[in-house]
Amino acid sequence: MTFVKSIAASGVLAVGMLAAAPSFASHFTPDGTFTATGSTSLSALGGAIRIPCKSVFTIVVSGGVGVVTNAVFSPDPANGNNANCNNLQATNFNWPLNITSATGGVAQNVKVVGINGNPVTCGAGPVPVTLSNGVATFNGQLNPGACAVTSSSLPVVNTGGGATLSIVYP
């Protein structure tokens, strides 16, 4: 009988450990809506076209999972006030943010259409993202289309006024 109780207790312990496992998985904290604002450049054709713009990325975190739900580009007075920024359109939302380290990961399914009024399409593809001390950067190559996305250090602000966005990485 003691043997049967030991097996039953071991089974309950194993189930408890499995149920607790997700708490050790990588995740964003806290839940909420955040904006990352600053300069972001898109270049294409091996850098022959380069458009520096002001960008505003909206990041929503729910249950520890982060997603970029919107990106808006506009002329940036600090970078030449390029009117072509109005022609940059990021599409294919939502971009899941997959955590790969304690300081970042990859924004998936990023797609940009329209450069300098031309119907150039870049992506959909992954763009590496870093997040450290409440500051995000997006830097990487988008294929197909051979476009590069390069952001400055974008302060991430909790729109609810709460805690800074961070990554919990076991």
pLDDT grade, residue 4 (50/70/90)?
very low
The predicted structure's pLDDT at residue 2: 43
pLDDT above 50 (res 19): no
pLDDT grade, residue 17 (50/70/90)?
very low
Tokens of 159: 């729109």
- Find the mean pLDDT for residues 42-64: 88
The predicted structure's pLDDT at residue 138: 94
pLDDT grade, residue 9 (50/70/90)?
very low
Tell me phi and psi for residue 2, to 5 degrees.
Answer: -60, -40
pLDDT above 50 (res 44): yes
pLDDT above 60 (res 100): yes
- Find the mean pLDDT for residues 59-77: 93
pLDDT above 50 (res 78): yes
User: Residue 98: which H helix or E strand, with range?
Assistant: strand 95-101
Q: What is the DSSP string of 46-72?
A: GGTEEEEEEEEEEEEEETTEEEEEEEE
The predicted structure's pLDDT at residue 169: 95
Give the span between the Cα atoms of 145 and 64, in whole angstroms. 32
The predicted structure's pLDDT at residue 85: 82
- Find the mean pLDDT for residues 123-137: 93
The predicted structure's pLDDT at residue 114: 66
The predicted structure's pLDDT at residue 50: 83
Give the span between the Cα atoms of 168 and 24, in whole angstroms. 9
pLDDT above 80 (res 91): no
Mean pLDDT of the chain: 81
Give the span between the Cα atoms of 120 and 63, in whole angstroms. 36
- Find the mean pLDDT for residues 124-145: 91
